[in-house]
């Protein structure tokens, strides 16, 4: 997870600062993509998701960005209203 986490953080950083502005709205991770293998155990998934959330908040200090990465961007694209 460490190497892929660093790659993920670099991707987010790059998309935050494109020549056309912040393009993080194009990332939709309502899946396991940033937190490990698809068929990992429930405990591993919970741990990896916790680490992902911590690292994103440490690096960017942005709760809205974290929410958007995990659900908000997909909800906006598909016109889904929050509960």
Binning pLDDT at 50, 70 and 90, where does residue 71 land? confident
CA–CA separation, 5 vs 83, rounded Å? Answer: 29
Residue that has been written with the tokens 């906006």 in this structure: 76
Per-residue pLDDT, 40: 81
Residue 76 has pLDDT above 90, yes or no: no
| Torsional sign, CA 63, 32, 81, 75 | positive
CA–CA separation, 5 vs 74, rounded Å? Answer: 21
Per-residue pLDDT, 16: 95
- Per 3-state DSSP, the chain is made up of helix, strand and coil in percentages (nearest 5) of 65, 0, 30
Per-residue pLDDT, 1: 53
Residue 54 has pLDDT above 80, yes or no: yes
Q: Of 75, 61, 79, 65, nearest to 34 (Cα)?
A: 65
């Amino acid at each position: 997870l460490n190497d892929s986490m660093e790659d993920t953080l670099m991707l987010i950083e790059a998309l935050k600062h494109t020549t056309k502005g912040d393009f993080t709205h194009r990332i939709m991770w309502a899946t396991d993509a940033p937190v490990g293998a698809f068929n990992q155990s429930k405990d591993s998934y919970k741990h990896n998701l916790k680490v992902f959330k911590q690292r994103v908040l440490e690096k960017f200090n942005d709760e809205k960005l974290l929410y958007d990465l995990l659900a908000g961007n997909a909800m906006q694209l598909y016109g889904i209203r929050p509960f």
